[in-house]
Amino acid sequence: MKAVVYEGPREFSITEVTIPTPDPNQVLIKVATCGVCKTDVHIHNGEFLAEFPLTPGHEFAGEVVQVGTQVADVQLGDRVVVDNTILCGHCYYCKRSQPLYCKNFYSLGVNRPGGFAEYVVANHDKVFSIGSLSFDEAAMIEPTSCAIHGMDVIDLRPGDDVLMFGTGPTGIVLAQLLRYCGASNLVIVGSDPVKLDLVGRLARADTIQMDRSHYDFHTQELMKKYPEGFDVVIDATGAVQVLQQCPKFAKFGGKIVVYGVTHESDTITLSPYEIFHKELKILGSFAQTHCFDRAIKYLQLGLVNVKGIISHRFHLDQFNEALEQVSTGKGHVKVIVDMRQ
């Protein structure tokens, strides 16, 4: 089969490898779609828990073509998505029922073989039926799961005023969850007018254009329209210049949420007195685990809408172009690698 294989950071090829054989408790999946996100760019650069050699791809769905001898709950031909997280169950944090902090955290597509391949194996207990969802929609289940974990972290109160910077695919999903779960004033700031229009419609949000060369423009507009600030301020950009600004928009007692993935070496400067005086809470939202069932229900019920969100589609042989589009390209919303082409 064909697969993307990294030998090290920024060193990959599309090559022929052996089709994996499932263990007794695993299934073999013929991949249909696999999303490309900014996390894949960080993995490309050797960040975000990446271990090499590696086949990346953590947002994948497909059809079950082989079932292990001990698997009874998954059938041949099932259309499925895979929760890419693998947890040891016995480390300090797993025993404290905090599996996301597992000391032996494995993730398909991050430090175990993932979905940028024609076939992938997965443990049967991490496989979920997608029902009537399309494979395009199923490629958004993992990002939706991350957004649901973000909602768990934020612990939104009905009526909270929320400001979010960023209009990436997961941010667009998060905005819909924020609206559905009780945000009153929901304001999204972003630099891409196409994405701003999309998230404004899907989440019924107020949108404000960001000029990355003149942050004073959106700052003045926010201060004028919302002088009391916001209960929750979310950075979904992963840009430290944006994250640095977030505390100024928070109400007393507000929450600052680091949701976008920055580079590991990035730093920001915060005023301890401002945190102390305003009693600010700084929260991080890292990945997800055990959120796939809720994500699938939100998508199946239409409470989160991802139809039409895919703007760019590449074949596996075009992985380099897909990665380049996400890394440096403009005008895309969601990029996928489509194995069906």
What pLDDT, on a 0 to 100 scale, did the predictor assign at position 212?
A: 86
| Angle at which helices 141-154 and 292-300 cross, to 10° | 110
Q: Which two tokens stand for residue 17?
A: 């490898």
Q: Which of 38, 325, 265, 278 is nearest to 168 (CA)?
A: 38
- Full-model pTM: 0.96
* Residues of the chain under the 50 pLDDT cut: none
Please report the domains of the chain, with CATH numbers, ordered by start residue: 2-140+306-338 (3.90.180.10), 147-284 (3.40.50.720)
Q: 3-state SS string over 192-233? A: CHHHHHHHHHHHCCEEEECCCCCHHHHHHHHHHHCCCCEEEE
Enter the tokens of residue 236.
């979904």
* Structure tokens belonging to residue 316: 């596996």
Do 238 and 38 form a contact (C-beta atoms < 8 A)? yes
pLDDT at 240: 96
The count of other CB atoms within 10 Å of the CB of residue 97 is 6
79 neighbors 61 (Cβ within 8 angstroms) = yes
Task: Give me the pLDDT at residue 134, please.
Answer: 98
Distance in angstroms (rounded) separating the CA atoms of residues 48 and 264:
8
Residue 132's contacts (CB-CB under 8 Å, 6 or more residues apart) are: 300
pLDDT at 341: 75
pLDDT at 319: 98
How far apart, in whole angstroms, are the C-alpha atoms of residue 120 and residue 113? Answer: 7
By the 8 A CB rule, do 133 and 299 touch?
yes
Q: Looking at residue 329, what is its pLDDT?
A: 80
Identify the pLDDT of residue 330.
84
pLDDT value of position 171:
97
d(CA 213, CA 211): 5
